[in-house]
Every structure is written in structure tokens, then in C-alpha cells.
Amino acid sequence: MSGLLIRGASIMTMDAEHGTEPFDGDVLVEGTRIAAVGAGLEAEPDSEVIDGRGKLVMPGLVNAHTHSSETFFRGRYEKMPLEVWLLYAYPLLMGPVIDKELLHLRSLLLATESLKAGVTTMTDCFFDPPDHDLDRLGTVFSAYELAGIRATVSSDVINIPTLAALPFARDVFPPDIQRMIDFGPMIGAPEYLDFCRAAIAAFHGRVGRLNFQIAPSAPQRCTADLLTGCFDLARAHGMPFHCHVLETVTQAVTGQELYGGSLVRYMDDLGILGRNTTIAHSVWVDDADMALMGQAGVSVVHNAVSNLKLGAGVAPVRRLMDAGVSLALGTDGVSSNDTASIFDVMRAAGLLHGASGPDSSTWLSAAEILRAATLGGARSAMIEDDCGSLEPGKAADMILIDLNDCAFMPLNDVAKHLVYAANGSNVRTAIVAGEVVMRDRRMARFDEDALFDEIRDRVPAYLQAHTLVERRNGLLEPYFAEIHRRSAASHSGVYRYAGDAPLRLRNWLPARA
């Protein structure tokens, strides 16, 4: 059994005893697990010894919600609300599906960027329309296996037509456009559940660090039998049931228009809120929603940067936590965020909630944010017994951060430096399951220069073809923009507009119940 000893480092364990308070010591790894954390530790003679002087060792960060499908669209879109942006990043009028070689490169690029930014674990809500294909899903798993990252991967599903999942759609879209985007029957619940069972058999638990998760895209985009079937299957296998919920004002209106109430209350009626449930976004929830979520023990992934870029709003994070909801952090996809760095999300989350009101006791602390970025993220993926803190018996997933850097000069409070000053470039080494997978900011398991060369060679032609797809979908933009406008207007009496709030946040914020 191979061993590893990090000697003489500053250690932030995130465990119950030490939390975010660092101490000087060593970390001993045996095989894939942490054997000991303390002072004066010794390793077997053939173990690798890493000099930890001037370094901070901490648990690897967890990106609890992202979409590898967007990775080639970095820096491509701006000034678009979600419903408009989806037309381009996830085109309704599709072109050819991305080929498997590019699919591999895309996944490997996301894993590379993640590890270099200190993310050792990520949840990839992989979306690959129009079909669910085990071979293509396997390409994503193989890329993550090669990179050495820990990942939970889904094959997100939608089985309600787009217009049927939106308010005002039948009034806004002319009949000829409605016919144009009527693509016929969609996948049924039995068929998708059979696919999930096959994916579980093929990929769940792969190489000890790759898992499958079950992810209906959103409650308004999936039939009731698919939602309940997915939830039951997730519970039976002890895996996450991951769902986008109440991200935008349009979705808040959708619940009222289509289900007669909040989408969270619709989920509760279906019996699909529980420990396995992870909700991405949770921006447009009210106090009754939050009470149900807290009672059920759900996790919420706060995607602060993406929500700001798409104008979705600001999740009521303190109120969610007070209600008993577990908090995780996510970047969302690289197209709606433009990086895969959780350091960016931590800083945004730390700053953003100061705009929620003058009572500073409700703002988030650096310690709370770091917990969300580690243990909270692990809990959302249902692997908190394995990851999220540095404790004997847990998986040896950790990062080494160079403290000999401007971001830590002079060094005051490490937790606050990590949240407000560091940006991920300080991460020197990433270790996953006891293996150094990124060393001195170079990927250890493959040639990253060759990866970048291949992307530069092949992706421009793909993006040029995507331009034609964007042009086709651009014809639909005015209709989706009108739905967004009507939704915002219809909620103006229930939700307060925060245009005059500190920092002039141009979004709608849920009013207190």
C-alpha cells in the first residue's frame, strides 16, 4: 500500500474539533485514506514526503453544481436572463450533437480547471439531448477517471415540452412557432428509470471516486411519475436526487400558473423532498417553502455568481440556513459563470449577502462559507462520511495552498484570506484519494499542453457551427424575453424590486412572508 506524508504544514481540518482554525502539523495518508493528522508523524520508508512548510493543507473544495455541457461557451454570452440564455447555451432548435472526441476534451478541460482551482470533488449535471446514451455518458466518466477528480455525474432529463413548462407561452408564441417547436413525444418515466438503472450498474462507484446521480431537470419540466420514480430510485440506492428549483422569477410564476402554488410545495405534495434531495438555486422561495425544505433536511446549492450574471436574483441564504437547510456552493456551468472556481463563488457569497440589509448578524461569515464549500458540498452529494474534512478514515482529498503569496501577506485570519483574498491561483497541489493529481500547478496524469493544443485545433470549427445554431434560435428570443418580462411584471405586487438596494442589485428579491 502506497503512502504519503505532508510534513510541517499549516492544517485546516474543517472537523468538529478545529473547524477553520489552522494548526501546525503533519498529514499521513495510507492508500486512499487519511491515516492520521497531528504532529511528529512518521511514514513507511517508501512513502512520498511532501514539504508542507509555507503551505496550508485543507480539504479539497466541492463544486456542488455545474454543467460540463457549457464548458466551450465560456465568455460567449452576457446580458441575458436565464430563459433567453438557454436558447443559445442549450438550443431549443438543435444542431448536430457534439462528437465523442470533443465530448472527452470538454469534460477533461472542466476537470483540469476545477483541480487547478482547488476543486477535488464536483457534481456535473451533464445534459446531452436529444437522447440518453450510456456510451456518451461513459465518455464523461472516462475523462474524469483520467483527470483523477472525484465526481458525481448525472444525465439530466426533461420530459415536458418547453412551452408546457412556461407561463404565458400559449399567448405569447404564435401558432406557427408553437408548431415549429413541437417535437413530439418525449421520454417516458419507465424508459428513463431503466436508463438510470443501467447507468448505476455501469458507473456508480467507478474507481472508488466516481458516482452517478439521478437528476430530473426541474419539477415543472418533468412529469409527476418521472419525479416520484426518480426520487424512489435515488432513495433505494442512497444517492442524490438533484433538481433545479425556483431559479428565476419566471419559475416563481410557473408554480402559481401551472400548479396553483409554489414549486417547492408541489414537490412536497409529491413526496419528493427529503435527505436525498439537493435543490440548485432556491432563489425565489418564501418562508413556507423554506420551512418545508428544512423539515425535510434538503441541501441547497448556492450559485451566487451564476445567479448574478443571469439576473436571477439572490437566494435568501441566511433564512434557508435558519430554517434548517444545509448549504453548499456551486459555480453552475462555465457559460453562466465563466469560471469553474469555487474561490470566486466564496468571495461573491461573502460580499453579496451584505446587501441583504443593515443587520450584519445575518450576513455570512468566512467560516460558514468555507463549510458550505467543503462539508456542505459533500453532504449535497451524500458523501460527507468520505469527504469534506481532514479526519482519519476519510478519503485523502486535500489541497495545498501557497501562503507565500500576496493574498496572504500579511497573514491575519486564514479563513478570511481564503474567502476574500485568494482566487485559486494559490493552489499548488491537489490530492484525490491519496494520489497527487495536480502538482506545482501541472496536471499529473496527462499532458495538459496536448489537451490545450487539441482544443485550440478542434473547437473553433465546432463554435463556428454553433453560430449557425444560435442564429436559428435567435428568432425565438423575443418570445422568451416577453415571457420573462410578463413574469417579472406579474410578481411586482408580491415581490419587492431591489433596484435601490445597496450596490444597486438589478434583480427581484423575495419579500419576507
Chain segment 45-90, per-residue pLDDT in tens: 999 999 999 999 999 999 999 999 999 999 999 999 999 999 999 9
* pLDDT for position 20: 97
The better pLDDT of the pair 170, 111 is held by 111
Beta bridge partners of 212: 153
Q: Which helix (H) or strand (E) holds 26?
A: strand 23-30
Q: How many other CB atoms are there within 10 angstroms of residue 405's CB atom?
A: 15
Domains 3-59+395-443 and 61-380 share a fold: no
The residue ranges of every structural domain in the chain are: 3-59+395-443, 61-380
* pLDDT for position 502: 28
Strands of 277-281's sheet in order across: 241-245, 277-281, 299-302, 326-329
Q: pTM value?
A: 0.94
What is the rounded CA–CA span in Å between residue 54 and residue 37?
17
Q: pLDDT tens for residues 173-215?
A: 999 999 999 998 999 999 999 999 999 999 999 999 999 999 9
Question: 193: which 3 cell numbers?
Answer: 428509470
Which CATH superfamily hosts domain 61-380?
A: Metal-dependent hydrolases (3.20.20.140)
**pLDDT above 90 for 10:** yes
Question: 1: which 3 cell numbers?
Answer: 500500500
**3-59+395-443 CATH:** 2.30.40.10
The total number of residues shown for the chain amounts to: 513
Q: Which residue matches cell numbers 456518451?
A: 136
Q: pLDDT tens for residues 218-229?
A: 999 999 999 999
Contacts of 449 (CB under 8 A, 6+ apart): none
Contacts of 130 (CB under 8 A, 6+ apart): 94, 97
Quick one: pLDDT band at residue 417, thresholds 50, 70, 90?
Answer: very high
CB burial readout 415-431, b (16+ within 10 A) else e: bbbbbbbbebbbbbbbb
What is the rounded CA–CA span in Å between residue 242 and residue 209?
18
* pLDDT for position 37: 98
**pLDDT above 70 for 496:** no
Q: pLDDT tens for residues 266-287?
A: 999 999 999 999 999 999 999 9
Chain-wide mean pLDDT for the chain? 94
